Structure 1
Amino acid sequence: MAALGWLTGWLLPRRRSATARSVLAGEAAAEAARKSAQENEDALDAPGPPAEPDFPVVGDEKAAAFFDLDNTIMQGAAIYHFGRGLYKRQFFGKRELARFAWQQTWFRLAGIEDPEHMQEARDSVLSIVKGHRVSELMTIGEDIYDEYMAERIWPGTRALAQAHLDAGQKVWLVTAAPVETATIIARRLGLTGALGTVAESVGGIYTGKLVGELLHGPAKAEAVRALAAAEGLELSRCAAYSDSANDIPMLSIVGYPYAVNPDSRLRKHAREQGWRLRDYRTGRKAAKIGIPAAAGLGALAGGAAAAAAIQRRRR
C-alpha cells in the first residue's frame, strides 16, 4: 500500500500508545516529504517583501527551516479552503458546507486550533475522499490553490522562508493538512517540500485510513526529527516557525524557534522562553487576541450568510 495523505481517517488501534502513533505519523510524513521534494527544486516563485530573520547563516548545510502552514504562512486553515473547493465541484452538499464554514469562522476568530473541530474536519474529509483516486484529488488541489489559497499567503512569512532559501537552506512546510495539499503549496511557494498528514492508498485510491495519526502537536516534532536525521541536519542550527501553542514541541527542538502571528498561549510561552516573535496581522485587536480583525469579521459574515441561506432553503 502506498502512503499518501488527507486530513481525515481513524486513529490506529488503541492498544498502540500515543507516542508510538506520533512516531509513526512523523516518520511517514518525513518519507513522503522527501519524495516530493525532488519535484519542487526547480519551481521557484519571486521572493516577497524584505522581512528577513536575524539569521540564517549563508551556506550552512546542516541548517534548515520548518514552517507551520495554517495562520503562519497562510491566513486560515488549508483544509477548510480545500473543502470549499470540493463543494464547488459537488463532492458534498450544503450541510457539510455549513459545517466547514462554521469551523473556518471559529478558527479565524479564535486564532487557535480546536481538537474537536479538527477531528470533525478530518472525519468529514474522510467520507468525502474515500474511494477517490489520488491523481484526481491532486489535480483538483492545484486548481483550489489558485482559487482560494494563493491570495491568503502572508507576505511577511513568505519573505522569511525566502531568506532561508536565499541562504542556501532547505525549507519545509510541517502541517496537519493533507500531504498532497501541503506539497502543492510548497511547490507553488518554491519551498523544498512538505511534511503533512499521510494516509493509505491502494492502487492509487484512498482507503480512508491514516498512517499513524494526524500530523499535529507531538507528531510534528517527530516528523521534523525523522526528516533531520534523514537529511543530516543539526536541529540546534535549524529554525521553526508557528502561530500555535500546539506546535511548542516542534519549536522546542530547534535552535531558532519563532512565534509568528502567535495565539495568546504561544505568545506568553515565547516571551517566557525568549523566543523571537513576528506578527504580520494588522490592528490592535488582532495583536491582542491573535486574529486578522477584518478577515475574522469577513469569515464570520460569510459563515453566517451560508447558514442563513441553508435555513431559508429548508423552510
Structure 2
Amino acid sequence: MSRFSRRADRVAVERAELAGEASAEAAATLALDEPPIAAGADLTAAAFFDVDNTMMVGASIFHYARGLAARKYFTSSDLLKFASRQLRFRLRGAENLAVVGTARQEALSFVAGRSVDEIIRLGEEIYDETMADKIYPGTRAMAQRHLDAGQRVWLVTATPVELAQLIAQRLGLTGALGTVAESVDGIYTGALVGEMLHGRAKAAAVRAMAAREGLDLRRCTAYSDSINDLPMLSAVGTAVAVNPDSELRDVARQRGWQIRDFRTSRKPAVRIGVPSVLGVGAVGGAVLAGAAVRRRFRG
C-alpha cells in the first residue's frame, strides 16, 4: 500500500469515527420519549437494525427523495441522476473519490440555508404517504421480540438522522443512528459531520452508543441485508442476515449466522428503489434529503 493510500485510509477511518460519534450524540439529542425502565429490563443487551431492504422494502432515502420531487423540491431527472450515479458506484466495485466529492457538493448546495423544521415536517408527511406500507412485517416482529425481552432497539442507517428517528418513532423503537449534517440556529450549513453513516461509520456509531448506554456488545444483535454492513455485524455478539445480498449470504453461511429472507422475490434487481445499493457515493443523496441535527457540531 502506498503512502498516499495509507493516508487516505487513515483519514477515512477518522471520518468514520467522527460520523459514528456524531450520530450517537444526535441520537441522544433527539431521543424519543421512553417509558420508565420496567422491572426485569435487560440493560446491557440491545438490537441494531439496518433500514434499507432490512426493515423497509427499498431505500428510505429514495422514497423520501421521491416525496420531495413530488413537492417540486427538485426534478425527476435530478432523482434519476442520483440513482444512476449510485448504481454506477456499486457496479464498479469501488468509489471514485472525485465524483463522490462532486455529488456531496451538489447536495450540500441544495440543503444549505434550508430550515431543519421544514425538512422534519416534510419527513412526517412523506413517511405516512410512501413508507409506512413498506415495512417488512417479519423484520418488525423480530424487533418487537427484542423490545418484549426488555432490550432497547435502534435503527442504524445512512439515512439522515432526522428521518431515521422519525421511522423509529413510527415503529415504536428506542431511537435511531443516522447520517448527521451540521445546522446552526435551525438552518443547514451545508457541511457533513464526519461522513455518511455507512460501512465502518455504522460500526463506529454502534460502539459509541454502546459506550453511552453501558451495553455489552457481546450480548447485542445486529441485522442487515448488505455486505457493506459487515463491520457492524462483526462488532456484536450475534449477527443476522436479513434479505441478504449474495456476498452477505456467503459470509453468513461461512460464519454460521442466521439468515432470514422476507422478500417475495429472490431477484435483487426487482428490489424497490435502485439507490438501495448505497455506497459511499450516496453521500449526495443522503444530504440531499436533508440530514441535520438541532445543535451545532464541528466536523
Residue 25 of structure 2 is matched in structure 1 by 31
Q: Does 1:150 align with 2:132?
A: yes
Alignment deviations for residues 219-250 of structure 1 (CA, whole Å, 9 cap, x no partner): 10010000001000000000000000000000
1:141 aligns with 2:123: yes
2:189 alignment partner, one of 203, 207, 227: 207
**Aligned equivalents of 1:76, 1:201: Cα separation in 2:** 28
Partner of 1:83: 65
What's the offset of the Cα at 1:130?
1.9
Distance in 2 of aligned mates of 1:22 and 1:264: 25
- SS of the residue 1:17 aligns to: helix
d(CA) in 1 for partners of 2:117, 2:51: 23
Matching of residue 280 in structure 1 with residue 271 in structure 2: no
Deviation at 1:90, TM superposition (A): 1.3
1:269 maps to which residue?
251
Unaligned runs of 5+ residues in structure 1 are 1-12, 43-57, 300-315
1:146 partner SS? helix
2:230 paired with 1:248: yes
Change (3 A) 1:16 1:30: same
Cα distance change of structure 1 residues 126 and 218 upon mapping to structure 2, 3 Å threshold: same
C-alpha contact (below 8 Å) 1:261/1:290 kept by paired residues = no
**For the Cα contact (< 8 Å) 1:37–1:193, is it kept in 2?**
yes
Choose the corresponding residue for 1:194, options 159, 176, 185: 176
Q: Decide which of 48, 66, 77 is 2:48's aligned counterpart.
A: 66
CA contact (8 A) 1:80 1:100 kept: no
Counterpart Cα distance in 1 of 2:103 and 2:56: 18
User: How far apart, in 2, do the equivalents of 1:130 and 1:16 lie?
Assistant: 28
Instruction: Give the Å deviation of 1:125.
Output: 3.8
In structure 2, what residue type is equivalent to 1:159? A
Structure 2 distance, partners of 1:101, 1:17, is 27
- Give yes or no for contact 2:239–2:257 (8 Å, CA) kept in 1: yes
Structure 1 counterpart of 2:290: none
Equivalent residues, number: 262
Distance 1:136 1:296 in 2: 24
In 2, Cα distance between equivalents of 1:147 and 1:123: 29
One-letter amino acid of the counterpart of residue 266, structure 1: L
TM-score by length of 2: 0.79
> What code does the residue aligned with 2:117 have?
S
Conserved 8 A contact 1:91-1:128: no
What's the CA shift for 1:36? 2.0
Distance in 2 separating the partners of 1:252 and 1:15: 20
CA RMSD of superposed structures (Å): 3.0
Q: CA offsets, 1:250-291, max 9 Å, x none?
A: 0001111000000001000010011111100123xx1xx445
Q: Secondary structure at the match of 2:163?
A: helix
Q: Show structure 2 runs of 5+ residues with no match.
A: 1-6, 277-299
- 8 Å CA contact 2:62–2:273 kept in 1: the answer is no
Question: Cα distance, 1:19 vs. partner?
Answer: 1.3
Residue 123 to residue 174, structure 1, CA distance change in 2 (3 Å): farther
Provide Cα deviations, 1:157-176, integer angstroms capped at 9, x if missing partner: 01111111111110000001
Any idea what SS the aligned residue of 1:92 has?
Answer: coil
Instruction: Give 1:229's aligned amino acid.
Output: A
Q: Is 1:221 matched up with 2:203?
A: yes
SS in 2 for 1:37: coil
* Amino-acid identity (%): 58
* Residue 128 of structure 1, CA deviation: 2.7
Q: Read off the aligned partner of 1:99 and give its amino acid letter.
A: K
Residues 210 and 193 of structure 1: is their aligned pair in 2 closer, same or farther, counting only changes over 3 Å? same
- 1:9-46 C-alpha deviation (Å, 9 max, x unpaired): xxxx979711111111000000111222233x36xxxx
The range that moved more, 245-254 or 79-88, is: 79-88
